[in-house]
């Protein structure tokens, strides 16, 4: 397997594994009250941050698989997906209200990204194929798939770090998930190639 593809597959698998670490700690240590409380995060609460991660994953997946789709519709959400970027954190939190349903939807997205990376052809990655997509305001951008894949997984890591800090704030270091890439068991990657 090409090094690029191997890298992105590892990142997609790590993405799912890291979410699992976060959810295990949330379920074990964080009450619904703390989960929904204003934690000083950009998207207000742990829940709001996870909703942002879900919706941004859906938007980026659509950009990769059907880049001309705009606005992005999904009957499960009360507003167009693009419109959330101009809404308040409280409105983000209402996109998916059930904690368990949110977890389930995020894992579905993780699996979609793993499958997407597996099907990418080598030429697309090696040539850093440029594709055109529309941002949440409808503005056109041109980027390579490699660059945007890096962004997607880095973005998720960034916000999971915020959630990890909120968990530590509420329950201390013993409750903090270990999210280091090198902490992911090797079997997690080798069993999912």
Report the DSSP pairing between strands 140-144 and 130-134: antiparallel
- Quick one: pLDDT at residue 129? 81
Q: Which helix (H) or strand (E) holds 58?
A: helix 46-65
Distances (CA, A) of 124 to 31, 52, 72, 167, 174: 44, 28, 25, 39, 43
For the stretch 36-55, pLDDT in tens is 999 999 999 999 999 999 99
- Quick one: pLDDT at residue 91? 85
CATH code of domain 3-190: 1.20.120.450
Sign of the Cα pseudo-torsion (34, 88, 102, 163, in order): negative
- Domain coordinates of the chain in residue numbers? 3-190
Show the low-confidence residues of the chain (pLDDT under 50).
none
- Quick one: pLDDT at residue 173? 94
- Quick one: pLDDT at residue 67? 62
User: Among 54, 80, 77, which residue's Cα sits nearest to residue 69?
Assistant: 80
pTM of the full predicted structure? 0.91
Give dist(CA 56, CA 165) in Å, integer: 21
């Amino acid at each position: 397997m090409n090094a690029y593809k191997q890298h992105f597959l590892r990142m997609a698998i790590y993405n799912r594994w890291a979410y699992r670490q976060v959810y295990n700690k949330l379920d074990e240590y964080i009450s619904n009250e703390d989960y929904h409380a204003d934690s000083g995060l950009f998207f207000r609460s742990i829940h709001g941050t996870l909703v942002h991660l879900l919706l941004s994953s859906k938007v980026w997946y659509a950009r990769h698989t059907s880049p001309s789709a705009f606005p992005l519709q999904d009957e499960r959400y009360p507003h167009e997906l693009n419109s959330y970027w101009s809404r308040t954190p409280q409105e983000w939190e209402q996109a998916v209200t059930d904690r368990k349903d949110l977890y389930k939807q995020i894992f579905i997205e993780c699996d979609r990204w793993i499958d997407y990376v597996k099907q990418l052809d080598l030429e697309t990655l090696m040539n850093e194929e440029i594709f055109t997509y529309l941002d949440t305001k409808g503005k056109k951008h041109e980027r390579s798939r490699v660059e945007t894949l890096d962004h997607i997984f880095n973005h998720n890591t960034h916000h999971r770090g915020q959630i990890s800090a909120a968990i530590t704030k509420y329950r201390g270091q013993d409750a903090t998930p270990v999210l280091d890439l090198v902490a992911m068991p090797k079997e997690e990657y080798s069993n999912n190639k």
